[in-house]
Chains A and B, each alone.
Chain A
Amino acid sequence: MRNRTIYLLLLPGALFLTIFMVIPILLTIGSTFFNEGSFSFEGYLHYFQDKYFIGILLTTLRVSLVTTFICILLGFPVAYYISKVGTRTKVLLLLLSIFPLLTSSVVRSFSWMIIIGKNGVLNKLLLSIGLIEEPLNILYTPTAIIIGLVHLFLPLIIITLIGVLENMDEDLLTAAESLGASRLGVFAKVVLPLSMPGLVIGSILVFVGSFTAYTTPALLGGKQRVISTFLYQNATTLNDWHTAAIVATIMIVITLLVTIIMNQIAYKINPKG
């Protein structure tokens, strides 16, 4: 009787997601293995030999990797600082981190068009102080996509890491220092391993987010395709649903693989995390 109530409460939502999300995704994945009615891997073989597609895939992976790396380098010290300051400053800095996260990605990517465009703020500034002689071509390159993605995901890794760093036992750090560990030693042997879970979750969020992002590469990438804009182009402009389905499946598989592998790495480094 009790069990029936529980499942009755869950049924509408679960059914809704199954019909409108799970089944379409399974049908899409299934469709990639059929070519004109017969079972084959031909679609995948074709795309993994296609230089253009491999180029897009590698660019996307590289962009996502660099973005993740920069986000960790910038985000970790900031999160560490925020977790240590007084309550009032902490609340303010948290609000300032959350605000961009809730702001439309169109707005955030577009703001970079004003800055890194050929006649943009950055070029004007660098030209006026004589650091460069020709305007830099950043907009519509992979670098522009990376800048936009770092801007998009940095708040996410900051607030994820704050959650972990805040819970770190202050006594542990004091103990390590009083036992003679150098500041660098404390960081490498205590702070870093203890923040591993947050670092891994944050990295997964940033990497997967960058790998699948659409708005930022669409606005800042110009002709430079990434995997999501390639999928969109095939699904709509080119009307090639078979290709789009293959790209979608590859995106799902890579997203899943990255998540699983990263979790394994985190477990190896810190089994208790």
Chain B
Amino acid sequence: MKQKNRGLAVFTFLVFVFLLGPLLIISVTSFEGGSVLKFPIETFSFKWYENIFKVNMFLTSFKTSIIVSLAGNLLALILGIPAAYALSRFDFKGKSVLNAVFISPILIPGIVLGFTFLRYIVTTYHLPIYTGLFIGHTIIMLPFVIRVISSSLSTFDFSIEEAAHSLGASKIGTFFQVVLPNIKSGIIAAVMIAFLESFNNVDISVFMTGPGVSTFPIQMLTYVETYFDPTIAAISVMLMIITAFFMFIVERLMGLSYFTKR
């Protein structure tokens, strides 16, 4: 058995080299002193990190992405928390259908979602790009918000809620004073996971660009089409640091089981 495990361990190690090697390489190239991306680097400098803050398009699209993700997140919470609560708390007719509807933005191809939304909502009703991005990102965040909060509610003991009722608390009062504080960590985890989904989204945002408006990942794609300098590598490192930070917070709040459940 030991012998076999060693073979498996080596195999696993190689697969992780494949998974993480490219991210390591891109991180190293971000410190290149010259103007062409190369690995290994020839001279060391931070100048491409400075360059991020000099390119205007990156600054504005970063701001756009943050605003769209935060605003969409808020709306997704307002729509998602009551839905997650109803889906976890009660049994009712049509529950499985509604469940499917709320999860469907994950299942429908993103590029199809983006195109149909552009054609029948944004273009038809002449929505400003900002509004389009806001609604579109809310759509894709909603299933993640509902999934994380539902999984948080699945460990909540609803008899506490009934106890509060019988002691004379109102339904709405109970929800805000008993249920919400108990799923606080679930809500924070939901916000972070939804934020990453939205912030990294390409499939929907790629349909909603206009003069001076686009999201950060789309700006990165556009930049890569014309330039092959280490700016993108530097940006990648900064994005990876943010991602790692978010991941550790979610891990603290929910544990890793959230990710392995399907």
Contacts and interface: CB of A to CB of B under 8 A. Distances in A.
Nearest to B113: A21
Given A20-B117, A24-B117, A114 B86 contact: no
B186 interface: no
Given A21-B104, A25-B108, A214 B206 contact: yes
Contact of B98 (A10, A215, A255): A10
A121 interface: yes
B23 A9 contact: no
A86 to B, nearest CB: 12
Contacts of A115: 22, 25
A75 B4 CA distance: 17
B262 interface: yes
Contacts of A23: 120
A151 B92 CA distance: 42
Contacts of A59: none
Contact of A155 (B5, B19, B92, B135): B19
B116 interface: yes
A127 interface: no
Interface stretch (A35-43, A44-52, A90-98, A130-138): A90-98
A185 to B, nearest CB: 14
Interface residues of A, number: 85
Contact of A106 (B18, B217, B244): B217
Contacts of A74: 15, 18
- Secondary structure class of chain A's binding surface, majority of residues: helix
B109 A21 contact: no
A163 B29 contact: no
Contacts of A97: 19
Interface residues of B, number: 82
A20 B139 contact: yes
A119 B118 CA distance: 39
A53 interface: no
Q: Which of B19, B25, B37, B120 has the most CB of A within 10 A?
A: B19
Contacts of A99: 20, 243-244, 247
A96 B20 contact: yes
B40 to A, nearest CB: 9
Nearest to B36: A119
Contacts of B11: 77-78, 81
A102 B232 contact: no
Interface string B110-153: 11110111111100000000000001101100100010000000
Given A28-B116, A82-B12, A17 B142 contact: yes
The 6 A-B residue pairs with the shortest CB-CB distance, nearest first, are A212-B109, A111-B22, A24-B120, A9-B86, A163-B260, A9-B82
Given A13-B102, A214-B111, 4 more contacts: A24-B117, A28-B112, A104-B220, A241-B119
